């Protein structure tokens, strides 16, 4: 090996260039494309416990644009599980989205975070079509189903998560895999009954015991981190692998397949994960709908 | 309440309406589309009874055509997506019609029927209309609405069954589904 070649090698592996690139370590992952990540636009609905984790992960990974939607304000009881909130914000009851936006800027100033202080059913529905992935970090079934319906309609990948104490769940929905199920497929008559009771009795009859997830469920920061981590992993998989999927109708083996039509359940008590296949409902209102000519 | 995207919602409603047209309970021009809801009038055939002009339950009159106003909003087919109002007059423990015969007051049009409240995955307008037909012919006096006229009807139907009344008026027990040759009859009460 002559002197010139050796110099070239040294230049490629220069210590300075390795450590001055913020994303160097993740670029070493096979199949990783940082340009795709930094051009991605992600919509995160709800920035509570899981939403904080997801936004934090996406911001650190260098995602280009993140739209966060939440109309709620910070309370002191949120502080045990939300990394981007702080005591001062809780004291002055600041909006969650404002605080998350500010904290994200400190973590990574290159990321553009757009904050939207609106209820989900009041937002412009075209937004679902303008983003690459929709992430739902919500606490109630109505909003989840609505986000699922619109994301499915606009062919946007949709990732839902839920937590309750030691247990958590993640599921992805993608309309370009038409044989896979959506969130509405799993809605039972019991869920519809609960929706109706909440709607007609202003929530008085509903408590956490009878299955509703409206008020004051148990949350634990460790479960939140696990579920938020898995959910943001699915986002990255979609960003990196969706072009390959659209070209070849299968997922890039280097990236892996997201949890489409499958539900990952985490049990923190037994330290186990299991994945169940969710079957497509042949009469689903959202994804099995067929236009019948009258 | 969650919503379906507007295009899916409209297509679903069009499918439902074409089923209703096959049942011959709705006239195409009675369906009025607004921006966020649809209004329509349903005409059903079932053997029910109305109070006579004197308001005495002893002088009941048979009534076979009924008119129901429906308002469907963007929440449909999720719970709370549909509002009913019973428009024509009727003497029934579970229905408080908008027009109450022999009085000048207006009722609420409220209908006490489980399928209207507990909308399930399999529910559709066609089966709901059939359920309304069955309700007219099978009053449930044990669970009346808390309105004077409905309580009165409950008392009356505890003593008299629909079968007795049918015999009294020589009404044939003709199922409304079978009368397919008839045109839709528009009722003006």
φ/ψ (deg, to 5) at A202? 45, 35
Residues 6+ apart with CB under 8 A from A72: A48, A95, A96
- Please give chain B's pLDDT, 189 residues, in tens: 889 999 999 999 998 999 899 888 888 888 999 988 999 999 998 888 888 777 777 778 888 899 999 899 998 888 888 888 888 888 888 888 887 766 666 778 788 777 777 778 888 889 889 988 888 888 888 888 888 888 888 888 888 777 777 777 776 655 444 444 445 555 555
CA A45 to CA A164: how far, in whole Å?
18
Average pLDDT estimate for A114-128 = 93
Beta-carbon separation of B118 and A193 below 8 A:
yes
- Establish if B95 belongs to a structural domain: yes
Q: What is the pLDDT of residue A143?
A: 92
Query: Structural domain tally of chain B?
Result: 1
pLDDT category at A294 given cuts 50, 70, 90 is very low
- Establish if B177 belongs to a structural domain: no
Percent share of chain A, pLDDT over 90: 70
Q: What residues of B are in contact with residue A121 (Cβ under 8 Å)?
A: 3
Nearest to B118 among A196, A283, A294 (CB): A196
pLDDT over 50 at A273, yes or no = yes
Whether the Cβ atoms of residue A80 and residue A127 lie closer than 8 Å to each other: no
Name the residue of chain B whose CA is nearest to A143's CA.
Answer: B2
Our separate counts of H helices and E strands in chain B read 5, 6
| CA angle at A9 for the pair A5 and A12, rounded to the nearest 5° | 140
Nearest to B77 among A281, A285, A294 (CB): A285
- Establish if B180 belongs to a structural domain: no
Name the residue of chain B whose CA is nearest to A188's CA.
Answer: B121
CA B112 to CA A181: how far, in whole Å?
36
What would the pLDDT profile of B1-15 be if each residue is shown by its tens digit? 889 999 999 999 998
> Nearest to residue A140, comparing CAs of A215, A52, A48, A50?
A215
Whether the Cβ atoms of residue A264 and residue A230 lie closer than 8 Å to each other: yes
Beta-carbon separation of A187 and B121 below 8 A:
yes
- Establish if B33 belongs to a structural domain: yes
- Establish if B101 belongs to a structural domain: yes
Q: What residues of B are in contact with residue A294 (Cβ under 8 Å)?
A: 14-15, 17-18, 21
State whether residue B114 sits within 8 Å of chain A by CB. Answer: no
Residue A134: helix, strand or coil by DSSP?
strand
- Establish if B105 belongs to a structural domain: yes
State whether residue B78 sits within 8 Å of chain A by CB. Answer: yes
Residues 6+ apart with CB under 8 A from A1: none
Q: Dihedral sign for Cα B140, B146, B150, B155, please.
A: positive
> Nearest to residue A208, comparing CAs of A216, A200, A197, A219?
A216
Residue A186: helix, strand or coil by DSSP?
helix
CATH number at residue B18: 3.10.110.10
CATH 3.40.50.300 assigned to domain A36-277? The reply is no
Whether the Cβ atoms of residue B25 and residue B67 lie closer than 8 Å to each other: no
**Which DSSP symbol is given to A246?**
H
Q: Any idea which residue has 């009344």 for tokens?
A: B165
φ/ψ (deg, to 5) at B65? -120, 135
- Establish if B175 belongs to a structural domain: no
Q: Which residue ranges make up each domain of chain A?
A: 36-277
| Domain assignment of residue B137, given as a range | 6-169
Q: What is the pLDDT of residue A211?
A: 46
Average pLDDT estimate for A189-214 = 63
Beta-carbon separation of A285 and B119 below 8 A:
no
């Amino acid at each position: 090996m002559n002197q010139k070649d050796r110099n070239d090698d040294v230049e490629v592996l220069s210590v300075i260039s390795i450590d001055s690139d913020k994303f160097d370590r993740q670029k070493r992952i096979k199949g990783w494309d940082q340009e795709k990540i930094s051009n991605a636009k992600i919509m995160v609905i709800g920035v509570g416990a899981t939403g904080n984790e997801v936004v934090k992960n996406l911001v650190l990974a260098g995602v280009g644009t993140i739209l966060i939607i939440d109309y709620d304000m910070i309370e002191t009881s949120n502080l045990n599980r939300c990394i981007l909130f702080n005591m001062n914000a809780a004291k002055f009851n600041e909006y969650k989205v404002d605080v998350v936006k500010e904290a994200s800027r400190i973590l990574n100033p290159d990321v553009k975070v757009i904050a939207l202080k609106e209820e989900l059913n009041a937002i412009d529905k075209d937004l679902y079509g303008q983003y690459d992935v929709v992430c739902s970090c919500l606490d109630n079934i109505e909003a989840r189903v609505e986000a699922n319906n619109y994301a499915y309609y606009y062919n946007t990948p949709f990732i839902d998560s839920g937590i309750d104490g030691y247990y958590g769940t993640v599921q992805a929905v993608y309309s370009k895999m038409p044989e896979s199920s959506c969130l509405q497929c799993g809605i039972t008559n019991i869920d519809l009954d609960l929706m109706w009771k909440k709607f007609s009795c202003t929530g008085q009859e509903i408590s956490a015991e009878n299955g509703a997830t409206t008020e004051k469920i148990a949350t634990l920061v460790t479960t939140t981190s696990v579920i938020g981590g898995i959910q943001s992993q699915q986002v990255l998989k979609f960003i990196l692998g969706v072009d390959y999927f659209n070209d070849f109708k299968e997922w890039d083996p280097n990236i892996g397949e997201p949890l489409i039509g499958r539900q990952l359940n985490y049990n923190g008590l037994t330290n186990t994960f299991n994945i169940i296949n969710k079957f497509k409902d042949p009469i689903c209102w959202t994804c099995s709908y067929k236009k019948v000519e009258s | 309440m969650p919503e379906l995207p507007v295009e899916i919602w409209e297509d679903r409603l069009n499918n439902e309406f074409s089923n209703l047209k096959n049942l011959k309970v709705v006239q195409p021009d009675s369906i009025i589309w607004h921006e966020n809801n649809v209004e329509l009038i349903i005409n059903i055939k079932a053997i029910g009874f109305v109070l006579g002009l004197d308001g005495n339950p002893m002088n009941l009159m048979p009534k076979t055509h009924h008119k129901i106003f429906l308002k469907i909003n963007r929440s449909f087919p999720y719970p709370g997506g549909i509002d009913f109002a019973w428009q024509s007059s009727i003497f029934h423990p579970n229905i408080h019609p908008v027009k109450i015969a022999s009085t000048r007051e207006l009722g609420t049009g409220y209908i006490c029927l489980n399928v209207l409240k507990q909308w399930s995955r399999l529910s559709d307008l066609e089966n709901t209309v059939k359920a309304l037909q069955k309700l007219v012919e099978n009053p449930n006096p044990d669970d009346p609405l808390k309105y004077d006229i409905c309580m009165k009807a409950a008392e009356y139907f505890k003593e008299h069954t629909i079968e007795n009344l049918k015999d009294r008026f020589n009404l044939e027990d003709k199922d409304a589904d079978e009368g397919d040759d008839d045109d839709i009859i528009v009722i003006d009460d």
